[in-house]
Amino acid sequence: MDSSDTGAQPVTPAGLLASLAYIDNVGFHGIATTLTGPDPKIDRNWAALIRNAHIAVAATTWPVDLQAAADRFTHAAEELIAVLERRDTAAVAEPAKELHIAYHALSDAGWSHLAAAAGMKTEGDHDHHGHGHSH
């Protein structure tokens, strides 16, 4: 191994695509809406879905300009997973809001990065509403 090798993996479009495709289909909007409503209910599958999203984001090598958004997402995911595992409905609202915001920030920036790398002109952020806002 080259002594200058830091062990860091290169940023690849495939890695970004895989991570973004996964997190875009978790359903963060629905989760946040349910957990921040007047009568929050915890679905037993959410902790596992969010844990897998956390793994996908943590295992991805992000471009330098997206690393802070990825770090914010992973931290927010850890916080919400802990609350979900305790089944603490009184404490879920703020972590759910934070993860929803962090998800949108990472997804929007990630898709914009990929579009720019593909030589596409972008007009504003990636439109999640075109997907029925199921995430």
Per-residue confidence (pLDDT) for residue 63, from 0 to 100: 97
22 domain residue, yes or no: yes
Judged against a pLDDT cut of 80, whether residue 122 lies above it is answered with no
Banded pLDDT at 1 (limits 50, 70, 90): very low
Asked if the structure places residue 64 within a domain, the reply is: yes
Count of CB atoms situated within 10 Å of the CB of 116: 11
- What's the CA gap between 135 and 132, in Å, rounded? 8
pLDDT exceeds 70 at position 22:
yes
Query: Does 2 fall in a domain?
Result: no
Residue 19 maps to a domain:
yes
Domain count along the chain: 1
Determine the pLDDT at residue 4.
Answer: 41
Mean pLDDT of 28-40: 96
- Asked whether residue 45 is domain-assigned, the answer is yes
Domain-embedded: residue 40: yes
Task: Give the per-residue pLDDT at 23.
Answer: 98
Percent of the chain surpassing pLDDT 70: 84
**Contact assessment for residue 108 and residue 125, using Cβ atoms and an 8 Å cutoff:** yes
Q: Is the pLDDT of residue 82 over 70?
A: yes
Does a structural domain hold residue 51? yes
Rounded distance, CA 124 to CA 122, Å? Answer: 6
CA of 69: how far to CAs of 44, 49, 107, in Å? 27, 19, 9
Domain range enclosing 110:
13-118
Reduce the DSSP state of residue 57 to 3 states and report it.
Answer: helix
Residue 7: predicted pLDDT: 57
- Asked whether residue 126 is domain-assigned, the answer is no
The pTM of this model reads 0.85
Tell me what the mean pLDDT of segment 29-58 comes to. Answer: 97
